[in-house]
Amino acid sequence: MDASELQPVRDFISSLPPFDRLSEQSLRQCCISLSVVYYSRNEQFVDVDTNERQLYIVRSGAFEVITEQGELIDRISDGQYFGFSGMLSGEKVVNKVRILEDALVYLLPVKIFDQLRAASSQFDRFFNQAFAQRLRHQGAINNKNINTSRISSLISADLISIDSFSTIRQAAELMSEKRVSSLLIIDSNKLSGIITDRDLRSRVLAKGLDSQTLIKQVMTADPVTSHKNALIFEAMLQMSEHSIHHLPIIEDGRPTGMLTSTDIMRSQSSQPLLLIGQIGRQNSQEELIAVSKQIPQLLQNLISSDAQAQEIGRILTSVTDALTRRLIIIIQNEIGEAPMQFCWLAFGSQARQDQAGGSDQDNALLLEYDPDSEALLYFQKLSQAVCTGLDACGYSSCPGDIMATNKKWQLTLKQWENEFSKWINTPQPTALVNVAIFFDMRCIFGCSSLFESLHNKVVNKTKNNDIFLAAMTGNALQQPPPLGFFKDFVLERDGSEVKGIDLKHKGTALINDITRIYALAAGIKEVNTHKRLLLLKESKFINQQDALNLIDAYEFIAHKRLSNQGYQYSRSQPLSNYLLPENLSALARHQLKDAFKAVHEAQAGIKLKFLRQF
């Protein structure tokens, strides 16, 4: 490209993020390296050369990125990019780019692209995030259901690894031989780290290191990991949140394989991830409200897929988390950054990640230090806007006003510690009824170290605290499961109207209460009920069979609750937690009675364990 053409190209390129963050020297190098190509819509598809990878920068025109099966992933127009997925993953390009309009495109060679990534962390982060977003929009390729599919369905049985004392030359040769973009670094059967083709480019070639350099000097140590039974959905979220494309898989403390973003892109799309991706792109509360109208249909789709209740809960809660975070970011863009570190806390079902249809809000603020009047006004504006936005998105306000808008729950770390100390050290049964929800808490946005400090102190105070645990147990026994003297169902009524079996307050909530007491007694930090029960079983804090009975009872009752909500949604009825017995088959009635019986027995168990000395 000669000098006469360079200035208008430079003006255009410098207006685009992330090129607008490059130094003048890097920007000039970029513009000089560009070539120009014209595409006619009569050509139908871009002939992407996988041997000569390039970043496609659209000057004008429009394209669609689609899967091999024709499913739409993304639409690209003026000032946008494609081609970066293959360069970042190092894998063969499987998606197609359809030409929608005549287009003029600048091509940036992969060599220059990698140099710009190495020179600018902001440039590198932009395309990593774009790649993660592209993952979220990947169209369906197979007929599998990613909501319930697990990592084990994607990873290969072949473990490709090397030790940390090998050289980077040996690593490159092995990667080339096995045609992979990453290696597990294993020493003495334990994972030491990973090395990727990106590491070889940015940490070796770009730094001019000798090929005999040891892997341990350039590898990524202590990488983010997952396990083979995790949902693909969860792996995608991990990759997106940490801006990574390779996820080592660990089983029983030993590395067993590697999941890559390309593995996922070769699988299929997920409606939850599409929805979360949409949420992340909205720039106003009104847009988020419009997107949130898809949530009831998402619930219906998940129920129809026959996913496990605990998995549906995690997926629905991930959407709630995404909405909450995006609302906070949008509001902060309007009112400015916070005057201090803070944490947006969630309690109850959002904290436990077991939300169902019609969930309300339970949230609060954890502040770094005492706010002055100006800071108080800031956090009041923030909490009011976020909670109002959540309400408009379908998450109603908490009837008990456990809300971040309530100044009573806008507390510093020290103040929160004092509140928990009062509840734990001098437990009043009537007060504990209203505050039990606070012992299931999670940080949704903000300073995680603030939250960890609070959470650790709470768990340490409750562990083996007999008086507190006895008070919690007394409250947990106030509500029995809905079985009468002759083991028939006890129905809730609203005057003369029969509402049905309360599957939440007389079912899943009782199991949450029982499990919470055991977890607090054992000093377990996990707040998800299913995971708490697994940890209690593994630690032998409760009998293995009792734990399994509660896990099965929780899953069955929660699944019936969700199925009933699906039934209500399909008939345009308000979503509720009440199930009419006539909607149950004879077998389901028998199973539900067995589940409630397991809850009754578990209540007897905590009474014996935590109330016998009182």
pLDDT digits (tens, 9 = 90+) for 385-414: 999 999 999 999 998 899 999 999 999 999
CA distance 241 to 233: 12
Give the pLDDT confidence score for residue 422 in this predicted structure.
Answer: 92
Is the peptide bond between 481 and the residue preceding it cis, with omega within 30 degrees of 0? Answer: no
Give residue 116's identity as a one-letter amino acid code.
Answer: L
Residue 466 has pLDDT above 80, yes or no: yes
End-to-end CA distance of the chain: 86
Partnered with residue 57 across adjacent β-strands are 81, 106
CA distance 46 to 334: 41
The residue written with tokens 């990488």 in the block is: 223
CA distance 295 to 572: 15
Rounded to two decimals, what is the model's pTM? 0.61
CB neighbour class for 135 (10 Å; exposed up to 12, middle 13-18, buried from 19): buried
Give the pLDDT confidence score for residue 268 in this predicted structure.
Answer: 45
Query: What's the Cα-to-Cα distance from 555 to each of 3, 491, 513, 539, rounded to whole Å?
Result: 68, 21, 15, 21
Residue 2 has pLDDT above 60, yes or no: no
What domains can you pick out in the chain, each with its CATH number?
3-112 (2.60.120.10), 151-265 (3.10.580.10), 271-421+431-446 (3.30.460.10), 474-611 (1.20.120)
The string of DSSP codes covering 36-89 is EEEE-GGG-B----TTS-EEEEEEEEEEEEE-TT--EEEEE-TT-EESHHHHHH
Query: What's the Cα-to-Cα distance from 44 to each of 62, 64, 69, 93, 222, rounded to whole Å?
Result: 12, 10, 16, 17, 46
pLDDT 10s digits, 153-177: 677 667 889 999 999 999 999 988 8
CA distance 459 to 457: 6
pLDDT 10s digits, 249-266: 998 888 988 888 777 655
Element (H, E) at 30: helix 24-33
CA distance 153 to 93: 21
Residue 137 has pLDDT above 60, yes or no: no
Give the dihedral sign, CA 486/492/496/499: negative
Instruction: Work out the mean pLDDT of the chain and round it to a whole number.
Output: 86
* Percent helix, strand and coil across the chain, each to the nearest 5: 50, 20, 30
Give the pLDDT confidence score for residue 281 in this predicted structure.
Answer: 84
